[in-house]
Structure formats: C-alpha cells, structure tokens
Chains A and B, each alone.
Chain A
Amino acid sequence: GAGVSQTPSNKVTEKGKYVELRCDPISGHTALYWYRQSLGQGPEFLIYFQGTGAADDSGLPNDRFFAVRPEGSVSTLKIQRTERGDSAVYLCASSFLAGDSYEQYFGPGTRLTVT
C-alpha cells in the first residue's frame, strides 16, 4: 500500500516568507509525528498528534512554528517569518497507534531552503 507522502519534496523560500509543508500519513494511522533533520545531524522531534489534537508539541523551537491536523489525517506544518536557520529536511512519520509496539513509518521528507 501507499506509504507516508510529503509535499513538496523541495521548497526554496526567501527569508521572512511563510511556508506550509504537507504530510499524508498511511491510511488508518492515528498517530502522526513531525521531525526536523538539519544537515549532518539526526532527526529532532517537533510535534506529535494523536488524532486531531497535538498531544506533545514540546519540540517546536518557537512560536513561528505551528502544525495542524484538522480531520485526523493530513497534517500541515506551518512556519512563519522563515529564517535561514530553518533550512533543513522536515520529516513526517505515522503509526497505527502511539506506542513502542507500533512502528513509526517515515516519509521521504521536504527539503526546505531559506535564502
């Protein structure tokens, strides 16, 4: 079946602009996660949804970052007033339920470049 998809695959934007990154999880997966992977580093947790609500947003770096999942499926990560330091690959993952027994399936990521 289809895996986790993310659009766009690449996004180049100017400093100060607003961007939206989209994640389509695997059908039927209730848990959805966003991570950020900077060059040469491992992914870092941003936010996690169980259903429509953000269950843990402790990884969001500041209030310029926001994510939604209004219908419990597709999620959008929104970044306001982008800065060059926001440049990274943004990864989305989903799992059937939240919990250690449930594997997180990752999408290919969106590479964001802020010029």
Chain B
Amino acid sequence: AQSVTQLDSQVPVFEEAPVELRCNYSSSVSVYLFWYVQYPNQGLQLLLKYLSGSTLVKGINGFEAEFNKSQTSFHLRKPSVHISDTAEYFCAVDNNAGNMLTFGGGTRLMVKP
C-alpha cells in the first residue's frame, strides 16, 4: 500500500515570489509520481509526472518538481508565481500497475497581489 502526505494545507504567497509545495510519499515498491492542479469548479489537470530518468521534472505553467528517493519526496516549485496560479494542488502516486492514483490531501496555493 502507499500513501501521500502534503505537509501544508494552505500556502499564502505574494505575486512574483517563489513557492514550494511539499509532498512526501510512502510505498513498498518503486513509484511513479504526479502533481495535479484543480482550479475552482474545474476538473483536475496534470501539471507534471515522474516515471523514470532525470529526477528534475518540468511541467506546464513554469512548474517543476524534483524526485528525491532517499527522502521519499516530490516537492513542487515555481520561481515566480502569478495570481492565476491560485488553485488547489494535489500530489499523487500510482499503484505501480498504472490503474489507480493515490492522492494527498491537497495544498491550497493563495497568491496575493
């Protein structure tokens, strides 16, 4: 079984500041990791994913994440946020068979002007 912990339920940040959203996972097998974004009243949208290879993954909208196997982390970062980045962000891990995702509790990113 696996689990995902998002350490911060809310992250307030000023526009153009950098941000890091933290994600830790536990699993007894090798995993694949994902970050999704959910804007109000919309479905989840994939930001980026780590399957293998380079541990630094770049996604859409200027986001990137780094897979750290020793720390079992997959933190999401953006060097300069915009008001439009205000949304709920979910970290997820697959079950190594590619047919279900286990999500963390989400982090609400609030970008202030």
Cβ contact within 8 Å between A107 and B98: no
Q: Which of B46-65 contact A (CB under 8 A)?
A: 46, 49, 51
The reply to whether the CB of B84 lies closer than 8 angstroms to some CB of chain A is: no
- Inter-chain contact A100/B32, CB cutoff 8 Å: yes
Q: Are A104 and B42 in contact (CB under 8 A)?
A: no
* A: number of interface residues (CB 8 Å): 30
Other-chain residue from B49, B100, B104 in contact with A48 (beta carbon distance below 8 A): B100
Chain B residues whose CB sits within 8 angstroms of the CB of A103 once the complex forms: 46, 49
Q: How far is the CA of A107 from the CA of B38 in the complex (A)?
A: 11
In the complex, which residues of chain A have a beta carbon less than 8 angstroms from the beta carbon of B41?
A: 108
Q: Is the CB of B32 within 8 A of A42?
A: no
Q: A40-B105, A41-B105 are in contact. Are A31 and B44 (CB under 8 A)?
A: no
- Check A98 against B43 for contact (C-beta < 8 Å): no
Question: In the bound complex, what is the Cα–Cα distance between A93 and B98 (angstroms)?
Answer: 13
- Report the bound CA distance from A103 to B42 in whole Å: 17
Contacts of B45 in A (CB 8 A): 106
Given contacts A91-B44, A108-B41, contact A31 B99 (CB under 8 A): yes
Please state if B100 and A101 are interface contacts (CB–CB under 8 Å). Answer: no
A109 on the B face (CB < 8 A): yes
Chain A residue with Cβ nearest B43 = A106
B43 and A99: CB pair below 8 A?
no
Chain B residues with Cβ under 8 A from A41's Cβ?
105-106
Q: Which residues of B contact A55 (CB under 8 A)?
A: 99
